[in-house]
């Protein structure tokens, strides 16, 4: 079995290739926008002329009339063919694959938009030159000895060099490469095709993880997930967000978004987001690999449950994204290394249940972020009213999650 592992590398283009990369980004955006315009036109045509449309294709004998059946939805092949017919001279200095990949990706974006199972997917939009992230894709480029060889069109007259990148490649087999420019830095993403990892030896140990705002608790202790670097990063993000909000309105009118100063501030915010994501990822990689190495079965809770508890955290959204990263990384690592991940049901009362006798607190007995007023308990303690069991709140939750390993029947919806 092979699987796809994507790695991102920093690219170090020379002056010549910087210009080339920028041109390629521009060309990709241009293709995308043109394709989207055509695509939208085709949808409009479908509404007005529900059956057929005609288009005129020049050929050797003059002009050929071609009937398009509009009952077939617009698709990337149709749009690509139309674009190839309309190609202008200057476009030939770029590889034809650039155009094709842009249209293919647009097709995927439309598919995702129509896919009901993927919530929150907007319809594909036009791409602006002002976006801090630009990029293009290549399915023809080669990698050799730490150098990226982009394919060059025969019509291209300028200089063309290989581009250095730092880092080890995982495999000689890979899919479509993505080259992106973010804040004047260039990156290369490579989806490697690698053979499945061998399962880790079994340890015979199990664990459960309770996710909290600043720390993750598990059976053998605590993993702190809010180091100073991250707190600093959150503060900076909040600062830039406020700054952008102020710049957005000029004299009470919403029009600041077009200014250069706005674009600059947005670039700074973007850079900080990136830094923050890197710190989080690094932290989560280390923690999840430790869990997968040490334990055969790992229980975690449905993380949307924790969203409610985030109300007092700084940079909520940004911090929450770490929970998602945690689950994602843990899920795929468990699969690779032959370990079992158990996800507790959303309704499983891991916070309210007594790990000793199974009693579940309800109504005004419930434990909250402030503890419980009725019984005068503190926010970080769990006191059972039935059996007088006492424990740290988070450790109690860990025990309840752990109980699901021996009592999977508890994990049915309550
Ligand atoms: Zn109890």
Q: Which residues contact 198 (CB under 8 A, 6 or more apart)?
A: none
CA of 163 to the centre of ligand 1 (A): 64
- The predicted structure's pLDDT at residue 265: 85
Is position 300 within any domain? yes
CA of 113 to the centre of ligand 1 (A): 49
Is position 80 within any domain? yes
Q: What is the pLDDT of residues 352-389, one digit of tens each?
A: 899 999 999 888 888 877 778 788 888 888 999 889 99
Q: How many CA atoms within 13 Å lie on the side-chain side of 242? A: 7
| Tokens of residue 309, six digits | 């508890």
> 183: burial class by Cβ within 10 Å (0-12, 13-18, 19+)?
exposed
Of 195, 228, 248, the position where a domain reaches its end is 195
Is position 19 within any domain? yes
CA of 403 to the centre of ligand 1 (A): 14
- Helix and strand counts by DSSP (H, E) for the chain: 7, 18
Question: How far apart (Å, rounded) are the C-alpha atoms in residues 106 and 37?
Answer: 11
Q: Do 296 and 202 touch, CB atoms closer than 8 A?
A: yes
Query: Are 177 and 76 found together in one domain?
Result: yes
Is position 116 within any domain? no
Question: How far apart (Å, rounded) are the C-alpha atoms in residues 242 and 314?
Answer: 14
Query: Are 261 and 327 found together in one domain?
Result: yes
Which residue(s) pair with 64 in the sheet? 57
For the chain, how many structural domains are there in total? 3
Query: Are 340 and 393 found together in one domain?
Result: no
Radius of gyration (C-alpha) of the chain in whole angstroms: 27
CA of 383 to the centre of ligand 1 (A): 8
Residues of the chain below pLDDT 50:
none
| Tokens of residue 379, six digits | 């926010």
Query: Are 135 and 44 found together in one domain?
Result: yes
CA of 377 to the centre of ligand 1 (A): 15
Of 136, 168, 195, the position where a domain reaches its end is 195
Query: Are 75 and 149 found together in one domain?
Result: yes
CA of 378 to the centre of ligand 1 (A): 17
Q: What is the pLDDT of residues 292-311, one digit of tens each?
A: 999 999 999 887 655 555 55
Question: How far apart (Å, rounded) are the C-alpha atoms in residues 399 and 209?
Answer: 9
CA of 384 to the centre of ligand 1 (A): 5
Give the DSSP letter of residue 139: S
Roughly what angle, to the nearest 10 degrees, separates helices 76-85 and 96-114? 150
CA of 230 to the centre of ligand 1 (A): 38
Question: How far apart (Å, rounded) are the C-alpha atoms in residues 178 and 186?
Answer: 10
In the structure, ligand 1 is a single-atom ion and the residues with CB under 5 Å from it are 354, 356-357, 359, 384, 386-387, 389
Question: How far apart (Å, rounded) are the C-alpha atoms in residues 347 and 305?
Answer: 9
CA of 350 to the centre of ligand 1 (A): 13
Residue identified by tokens 């990063």 is 233
Query: Are 94 and 220 found together in one domain?
Result: no
Q: Which residues contact 281 (CB under 8 A, 6 or more apart)?
A: 325
- The predicted structure's pLDDT at residue 313: 54
B/e letters for 288-325, b = 16+ CB within 10 Å, e = fewer, are: beebbebbbbbbbbebebbeeebeebebeebbbbbbeb
Supply the range of the domain harboring residue 215. Answer: 206-344
């Amino acid at each position: 079995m092979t699987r796809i592992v994507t790695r991102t590398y920093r690219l170090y283009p020379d002056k010549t290739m910087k210009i080339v990369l920028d041109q390629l980004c521009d060309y990709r955006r241009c293709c995308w926008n043109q394709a989207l315009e055509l695509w939208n036109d085709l949808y409009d045509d479908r509404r007005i002329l529900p059956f057929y449309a005609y288009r005129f294709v020049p050929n050797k004998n003059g002009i050929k009339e071609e009937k398009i059946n509009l009952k077939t939805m617009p698709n990337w092949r149709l749009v690509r063919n139309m674009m190839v017919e309309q190609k202008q001279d200057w476009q030939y200095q770029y590889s034809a694959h650039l155009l094709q990949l842009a249209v293919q990706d647009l097709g995927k974006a439309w598919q995702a938009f129509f896919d009901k199972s993927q919530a929150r997917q907007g319809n594909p939009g036009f791409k602006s030159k002002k976006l801090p992230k630009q990029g293009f894709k290549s399915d023809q480029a080669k990698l050799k000895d730490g150098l990226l060889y982009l394919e060059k069109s025969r019509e291209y007259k300028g200089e063309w060099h290989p581009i250095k990148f730092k880092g080890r490649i995982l495999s000689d087999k890979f899919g479509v490469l993505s080259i992106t420019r973010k804040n004047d830095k260039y990156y290369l993403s490579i989806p490697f095709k690698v053979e499945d990892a061998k399962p880790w030896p079994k340890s015979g140990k199990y664990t459960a993880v309770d996710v909290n705002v600043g720390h993750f608790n598990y059976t053998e202790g605590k993993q702190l997930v809010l180091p100073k670097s991250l707190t600093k990063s959150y503060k900076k993000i909040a600062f830039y967000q406020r700054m952008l909000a102020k710049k957005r309105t000029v004299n009470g009118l919403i029009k600041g978004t077009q200014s250069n100063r706005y674009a600059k501030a947005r670039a700074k915010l973007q850079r900080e987001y990136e830094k923050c994501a890197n710190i989080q990822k690094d932290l989560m990689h280390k923690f999840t690999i430790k869990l997968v190495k040490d334990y055969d079965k790992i229980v975690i809770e449905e993380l949307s449950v924790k969203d409610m508890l985030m109300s007092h955290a700084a940079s909520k959204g940004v911090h929450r994204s770490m929970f998602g990263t945690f689950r994602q990384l843990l899920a795929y690592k468990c699969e690779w290394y032959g370990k079992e991940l158990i996800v507790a049901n959303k309704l499983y009362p891991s916070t309210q249940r007594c790990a000793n006798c199974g009693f579940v607190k309800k109504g005004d007995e419930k434990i909250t972020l402030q503890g419980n007023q009725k019984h005068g308990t503190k926010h970080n303690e769990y006191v059972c009213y039935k059996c007088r069991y006492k424990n740290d709140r988070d450790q109690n939750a860990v025990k309840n999650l752990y109980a699901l390993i021996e009592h999977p029947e508890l994990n049915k919806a309550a």
